[in-house]
Structure 1
Amino acid sequence: MSDGRAGIENPCLGLAEAMGLTPIVKRIALRTPWRQTTPYLPLPGLSLPLAPGSDGLGPPWPDVLISSGRQAVGLSMAIGRRASRCVRVHIQNPGVPFDRFDLVSLPAHDGKSGANLVESIGAIHRVTPAKLAAAAATFAPRVAGLARPLVAVMIGGSNRFSQLTPAIMAELAERLARLVRAQQLGLMITTSRRTGAENEAILREKLAGLPVWLWDGTGDNPYFGFLALADALIVTSDSVAMVSEAASTGKPVHIIDLAGNAPKFTRFHDRLRAAGITRPFTGQLESWHYAPLDDTARLAARTWAVLAQKGCFTAPAASGG
């Protein structure tokens, strides 16, 4: 249950999939005044607070309810009062005491504590070995002409914490161009909506004529294919999710630092570097090894444990997917 935004919904789907479950997705929105006051203003039932277009909520209640985002907090608590056996997991800070849920998942850089808190290093996500294997088979023909090593470059953009300026993009593009010429490697590059037209134009201009595959936004999104096929990854620092997904592969992850950063995200990047998971991108391609991040799998195991404690289910045997 979430407000439907990809960054809010995907962690919920990632946990469900890691548990081997096929979820029923509920996309919700609250009407005024509950939209502005959730989760502090009590909800008068489960129908009146929902805005037009929201999915309905009602019995039969689920055995597991995975929620994320502020809009879902009060609704999850209300369902918990109606369904005592429902195991409720909230991803992100709910803004209320954690004991209102069975489990709360937060990254360590948020600096919170609680008996039922499952701390992660990075973001909960949908990347799995099975998904990467399928994406590799599908996407490999599209980059068959590129040289090895094959490097994936994943570029985000400006948000309320970080800025991708034209100057930063120009420097990055020049470093990438020099890297391709010096090491005769192949590049796969994807940008985001936040990258901006001016920055994309700079990138294309400086990489023109080089063995680079830059996704133009048409056709299937190659993101999982990039993760699967790359020998190394270069990722901008603005997205905890994107860095976490890259670090789940066990491949070298080079970070492009953008201007600005909130202290908690600085703590996230400092922790990854101290653990030997990521290194700054200085224009050189490096090779190293680390244990892949497994935050989603750990949260799935904790959720199954709570289900077992409540006498609901026992975790299925691991499938490797």
Structure 2
Amino acid sequence: MTRTDPYATLLQGQTAWIFSDGKAGHEAQALGVVEALGLSPEIRRIDLTGIYKFIAPWGPLPSLATTNGGRLRLRPPWPTFAFATGRTTIPYIRALKRRAGLETYTVILMDPRTGPSSADLIWVPAHDRRRGPNVISTLTAPHRYSPARLRALNTTAPPKIAALPRPRIACLIGGPNGDYWYSPADETRLVETLGQLAASGVGLMITTSRRTPERLAARLRGSVAAAQSFFWDGEGQNPYPDFVAHADMFVITADSVSMTCEAAATGRPIFIFAPSGGSAKFNRFHSGLASYGATRPLPPPGEPLPSWTYEPLHSADVIAAEIAKRWRRRAELLPGLVKAKI
């Protein structure tokens, strides 16, 4: 929305409820869009149990007076916007939409697996198949690495990162999931590749995830022990935001979609390490980013890493702009509702 837009001032600072299942990745997606809109977030963590959790997202809610100790009763004053991400949050936003009606603009991030009327707008990544009049898609998922945040992080590098030689390569390591697995040969190939990169004199910044097998983490740590590198072992403050901001390029495992999306906000080269396995959905995701020019396969051990650039992908901004445009249409058609928010 432009500065001359009569609704721009009204939008800034309006309340946005975020129904959250507590997963950090889900909250980061919603917060990225909320922050891009300039809204004031109110996170409402849910905890469905028993049969109600089992039948989510399709089923109803239990009594709102009893669920979550009564903390999530849906009652006025209604927020201007509401967001939900994750299977067990969908019954809440559907119930809110029924109760608040047009007073609240509802958004679901990721395919809810329910009907299109579950929210006013549904966002899905481009590699998902869902499409429709109230469905939008982007190549990458929204996150909190906005241009402004990256600029702020880039002003000062922490001493451990500033001391590394360049190019600095952020190595973001995931692990087995429902689609990928790490064979002994996969692990050895990854360990040897990072070890030879470290020996070549580049600065490696390595972080593993909760899915990384401990044996693989130990081997990676050992392979770079004699080189100038920063291996985060989980102690102290998480350096991940600074890894993203200060990396000249990235090595990311193919199972790590969210980390790939965050790295793509920098416009810097991303090399994808593919373990065994995969799926059609993962293949569509990686093909889309490769076609865009953001990613390339990680070369075999010992081969040099080329450099290139591309236009950074900031999906939170794209999604926020579409939400603002559609909300404005409603505001222009129903000015009485908008005035009531002032």
Aligned to 2:4: none
Within the alignment, does 1:211 sit opposite 2:258 as a pair? no
Aligned to 1:120: 138
Pick from 35, 42, 64 the counterpart of residue 53 of structure 2: 35
Aligned to 2:240: 223
Q: Under a length normalisation based on structure 1, what TM-score does the superposition of the two structures give?
A: 0.91
How far apart, in 2, do the equivalents of 1:258 and 1:54 lie?
44
Within the alignment, does 1:150 sit opposite 2:176 as a pair? no
Residue by residue, what CA displacement relative to the aligned partner does 1:47-78 show, whole Å, maximum 9, x if unpaired?
34x24596554321110001111111111111
| Pairs aligned (count) | 311
- What amino acid does structure 1 have at the position aligned with 2:135? L
Within the alignment, does 1:186 sit opposite 2:203 as a pair? yes
- What amino acid does structure 1 have at the position aligned with 2:253? T
SS at match of 2:50: coil
- What amino acid does structure 2 have at the position aligned with 1:111? R
Query: How far 1:246 moved relative to its partner?
Result: 0.7
Residues 237-316 of structure 1 aligned to structure 2 (within 5 Å): 237-282=254-299, 283=301, 284-311=304-331
Q: Go from structure 1 to structure 2 and tell me whether the alpha carbon gap of 1:245 and 1:309 turns closer, same or farther (over 3 Å shift).
A: same
Which piece of structure 1 moves more, 135-144 or 82-91? 135-144
- Unmatched segments (≥5 aa) in structure 1: 314-321
- What amino acid does structure 1 have at the position aligned with 2:89? A
- What amino acid does structure 1 have at the position aligned with 2:321? A
Within the alignment, does 1:173 sit opposite 2:185 as a pair? no
Q: Go from structure 1 to structure 2 and tell me whether the alpha carbon gap of 1:34 and 1:259 turns closer, same or farther (over 3 Å shift).
A: same
How far apart, in 2, do the equivalents of 1:211 and 1:56 lie?
54
Aligned to 1:162: 180
Which piece of structure 1 moves more, 241-250 or 172-181? 172-181
Aligned to 2:10: none
Q: Go from structure 1 to structure 2 and tell me whether the alpha carbon gap of 1:174 and 1:44 turns closer, same or farther (over 3 Å shift).
A: closer
Query: How far 1:304 moved relative to its partner?
Result: 1.0
- What amino acid does structure 1 have at the position aligned with 2:315? D
Contact 1:164 1:195 in 2 (8 A): no
Query: How far 1:213 moved relative to its partner?
Result: 0.8
Query: How far 1:132 moved relative to its partner?
Result: 2.1
Residue by residue, what CA displacement relative to the aligned partner does 1:151-193 show, whole Å, maximum 9, x if unpaired?
11111111112123443222112112222333x2111111111
Query: How far 1:273 moved relative to its partner?
Result: 1.1
How far apart, in 2, do the equivalents of 1:140 and 1:42 lie?
49
Residue by residue, what CA displacement relative to the aligned partner does 1:119-154 show, whole Å, maximum 9, x if unpaired?
111212111122223333454322222111111111
Task: Please provide the CA RMSD for this pair.
Answer: 1.9
Q: Go from structure 1 to structure 2 and tell me whether the alpha carbon gap of 1:259 and 1:156 turns closer, same or farther (over 3 Å shift).
A: same
Which piece of structure 1 moves more, 95-104 or 125-134? 125-134
Contact 2:173 2:256 in 1 (8 A): no
Residue by residue, what CA displacement relative to the aligned partner does 1:82-111 show, whole Å, maximum 9, x if unpaired?
112200000011111123311101011111
- More strand by proportion, 1 or 2? 2
Query: How far 1:26 moved relative to its partner?
Result: 0.5
Aligned to 2:34: 16
Q: Go from structure 1 to structure 2 and tell me whether the alpha carbon gap of 1:218 and 1:135 turns closer, same or farther (over 3 Å shift).
A: farther
SS at match of 1:214: strand
Aligned to 2:11: none
- Unmatched segments (≥5 aa) in structure 2: 1-18, 332-336
SS at match of 1:242: helix
Question: Share of identical aligned residues, percent?
Answer: 40
- What amino acid does structure 2 have at the position aligned with 1:14? G
SS at match of 2:272: strand
- What amino acid does structure 2 have at the position aligned with 1:240? V
Contact 2:194 2:220 in 1 (8 A): no
Residues 43-192 of structure 1 aligned to structure 2 (within 5 Å): 43=61, 46-48=64-66, 50-52=67-69, 55-84=72-101, 85-137=103-155, 139-182=157-200, 184-192=201-209
